[in-house]
């Protein structure tokens, strides 16, 4: 297949699916259209990974506005895998919403259009060769997902949607100011105007960029894109948005969107390291990483809502990813990318499971879901395994990635930061296990606690498959090893 077609397919396929839902609505004949588009995206991502592994130049398309390399291809695999799981679970999830009269045909049509446009925007972000196009794509995800966060149109959902829009808009405005300053620095370094926002061109001319301007630009870009990645101190939107969105949307937001925003930081980091040296971004990332872990630990201790618990867990994992990126060695960056994939698989399984628990019980309170292991072994098993994966227990891939980050950090002189991070992670493990014990093994609280919780086959398959893949990757990464090494090299990793 023509390489340029492969670059366009990850954006084009979900865009076509969105057009299909707009034209025909969400019905039995179109319900699986999103899953088909996600499968096509994943297939194109794998083909691009084979094509770009070991090739630092990558494949360009759309007049040079899009470019795929090993890092882009890896991120597309993450997007495709999580999108496929979310779209496979969506028909049964929406069927239950329709049966309970919590939504209607117009809302499901809108769901189909917005979810596919959301996936297309994320694919565009990781394929953008231009930082301006990347910024536009990330901003588009905010607009699209705001309507999905408020899908149920309850007071809580509407409030969460507005909070999400306001905070992320502030963050993305900071990122825009950072781009303006980076563009200014590029033009005054005699970078050709048509390449002044091309991240590859900026990386090649990084040594010529004005250090004073770039310090401000990089700080704004890390803070701006870090807002969308759920990093402290601009994390406050995340628990509300993730807990109020439909379960498949929460899976996409937590499992992919946060990582796509952090991908933008990785591209900026390459430029920043060349212009300012590795110390500046290392300091920034260590600060936001430890702050994110501290926030997650403090808030998880008092958490009584299981959907918000999962959201705060996302803040923790983005903190771990930021810490690995701060180390910056090849081992650390390969571990960061493996962590991104493992987190996407595990978190999507957890949010999908929690969605069916919430539909059955009618509450997201931990106290309403006690004794789950006795009443719904399959759902309880999936939920328990997902939590073990996210807590970094073997054999899941997050155990391997966290070990890799810890080892790289000690070798790279950041042992003190890892020691603080590990202490905070122990607090998080204790908090999450305490809530999990109440949900899975606690005695029934009353009548509402006896509600039947069933996991439809359409949702069980992606949940079980995602957890299985996460476990396999923790034992042997197989063909992903070469891709991870190639992608890590493109992040400017040092030995």
CA 55 remoteness from chain centre: 25
333-373 residue pLDDT tens: 999 999 999 999 999 999 999 998 888 888 889 888 888 88
33-73 residue pLDDT tens: 999 999 999 999 999 999 998 877 789 898 889 999 999 99
Say how far apart CA 115 and CA 111 lie, in whole Å.
6
pLDDT-based confidence at residue 444 (cuts at 50, 70, 90): low
453-485 residue pLDDT tens: 777 777 889 999 999 999 999 988 878 999 999
∠ Cα 382 387 388 (to 5°): 100
For 392, phi and psi rounded to 5 degrees? 80, 30
CA 389 remoteness from chain centre: 16
- CB 174, CB 223: distance < 8 Å: yes
pTM over the 0.85 mark: yes
Say how far apart CA 463 and CA 455 lie, in whole Å.
10
Q: What is the pLDDT of residue 456?
A: 79
For 445, phi and psi rounded to 5 degrees? -90, -25
Q: What is the DSSP string of 359-426?
A: HHHS--BGGGGTTHHHH-HHHHHHHHHHHHHHTT-TTSHHHHHHHHHHHHHHHTT-HHHHHHHHHHHH
Q: What is the pLDDT of residue 3?
A: 82
User: Residue 257 has what DSSP assignment?
Assistant: I
Interhelix angle 480-490/70-99, rounded to 10 degrees, is: 110
Say how far apart CA 264 and CA 213 lie, in whole Å.
19
Q: What is the pLDDT of residue 169?
A: 92
Q: What is the pLDDT of residue 448?
A: 45
Q: Would you say how long the chain is, in residues?
A: 495
Residues in Cβ contact with 129 at an 8 Å cutoff, skipping those fewer than 6 apart? 60, 64, 65, 66, 67, 198, 199, 200
Q: What is the pLDDT of residue 452?
A: 65
- CB 81, CB 344: distance < 8 Å: yes
Burial (CB count <10 Å: 0-12, 13-18, 19+), residue 482: middle
**Residue position matching structure tokens 């084979």:** 50
Terminal-residue alpha carbon distance, the chain: 35
- 119 vs 356, more confident: 119
Report which secondary-structure segment, H or E, holds 61. strand 59-61
Q: What is the mean pLDDT of residues 80-88?
A: 97
pLDDT-based confidence at residue 378 (cuts at 50, 70, 90): confident
142-196 residue pLDDT tens: 999 999 998 888 888 899 999 999 999 999 999 999 999 999 999 999 888 888 8
Q: What is the pLDDT of residue 450?
A: 55
Q: What is the mean pLDDT of residues 268-273?
A: 96
412-440 residue pLDDT tens: 999 999 999 999 999 999 999 999 998 88
Report which secondary-structure segment, H or E, holds 347. helix 330-361
For 316, phi and psi rounded to 5 degrees? -55, -50
User: Please, what's the b/e burial string for 205-237 (b: 16 or more CB within 10 A of its CB; e: otherwise)?
Assistant: bbeebeeebbbebbbbbbbbbbbbbbbbebbbb
Residues in Cβ contact with 11 at an 8 Å cutoff, skipping those fewer than 6 apart? 66, 120, 123, 124, 127
Q: How many CA atoms lie within 13 A of 64 on its CB side?
A: 7
Q: What is the pLDDT of residue 447?
A: 47
Say how far apart CA 259 and CA 361 lie, in whole Å.
31
- Domain boundary assignment for the chain: 3-490
Q: Is the pLDDT of residue 120 over 80?
A: yes
> What is the pLDDT of the chain when averaged over all its residues?
92
């Amino acid at each position: 297949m023509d390489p340029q077609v492969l670059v366009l397919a990850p954006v084009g396929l979900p865009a076509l699916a969105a057009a299909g839902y707009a034209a025909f609505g969400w019905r039995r004949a179109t319900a699986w259209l999103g899953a088909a588009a996600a499968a096509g995206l994943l297939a194109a991502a794998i083909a691009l990974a084979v094509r770009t592994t070991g090739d630092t130049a990558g494949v360009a398309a759309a007049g040079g506005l899009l470019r795929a390399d090993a890092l882009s291809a890896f991120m597309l695999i993450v997007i495709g895998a999580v999108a496929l799981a979310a779209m496979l679970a969506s028909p049964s999830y929406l069927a239950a919403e329709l049966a309970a009269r919590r939504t209607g045909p117009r809302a499901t049509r809108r769901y189909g259009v917005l979810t596919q446009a959301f996936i297309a925007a994320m694919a565009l972000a990781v394929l953008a060769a231009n930082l301006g196009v990347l910024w536009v794509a990330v901003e588009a995800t905010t607009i699209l997902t705001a309507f999905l966060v408020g899908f149920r149109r309850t007071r809580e959902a509407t409030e969460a949607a507005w909070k999400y829009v306001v905070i992320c808009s502030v963050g993305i405005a900071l990122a825009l100011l950072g781009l303006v300053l980076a563009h200014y620095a590029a033009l005054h370094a005699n970078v050709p105007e048509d390449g002044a926002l091309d991240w590859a061109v900026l990386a090649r001319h990084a040594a010529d960029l004005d250090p004073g301007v770039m310090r401000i630009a990089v700080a704004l870009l890390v803070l701006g894109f870090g807002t969308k990645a759920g990093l402290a101190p601009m994390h406050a939107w995340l628990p509300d948005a993730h807990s109020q969105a439909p379960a498949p949307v929460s899976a996409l937001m937590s499992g992919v969107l946060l990582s796509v925003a952090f991908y933008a930081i990785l591209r900026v980091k390459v430029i920043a390291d060349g212009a300012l040296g590795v110390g500046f971004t290392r300091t920034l990332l260590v600060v936001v990483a430890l702050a994110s872990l501290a926030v997650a630990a403090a808030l998880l201790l008092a958490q009584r809502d299981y959907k918000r618990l999962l959201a705060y867990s996302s803040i923790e994992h983005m903190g771990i990813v930021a810490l690995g990126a701060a180390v910056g060695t090849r081992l650390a960056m390969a571990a960061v990318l493996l962590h991104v994939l493992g987190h996407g698989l595990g978190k999507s399984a957890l949010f999908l499971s929690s969605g069916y628990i919430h539909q059955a019980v009618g509450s997201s309170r931990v106290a309403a879901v006690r004794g789950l292991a006795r009443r719904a072994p399959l759902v309880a098993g999936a939920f328990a395994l997902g939590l073990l994966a996210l807590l970094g227990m073997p054999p899941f891939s997050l155990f391997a990635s966290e070990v890799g980050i810890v080892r790289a950090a000690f070798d790279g002189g950041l042992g003190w930061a890892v020691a603080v991070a590990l202490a905070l992670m122990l607090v998080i493990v204790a908090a999450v296990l305490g809530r999990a014990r109440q949900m899975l093994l606690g005695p029934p609280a009353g009548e509402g606690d006896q509600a039947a919780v069933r996991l439809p086959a359409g949702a069980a398959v992606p949940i079980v498959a995602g957890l299985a893949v996460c476990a396999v990757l923790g034992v042997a990464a197989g063909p992903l090893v070469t891709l991870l090494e190639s992608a890590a090299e493109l992040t400017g990793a040092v030995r």
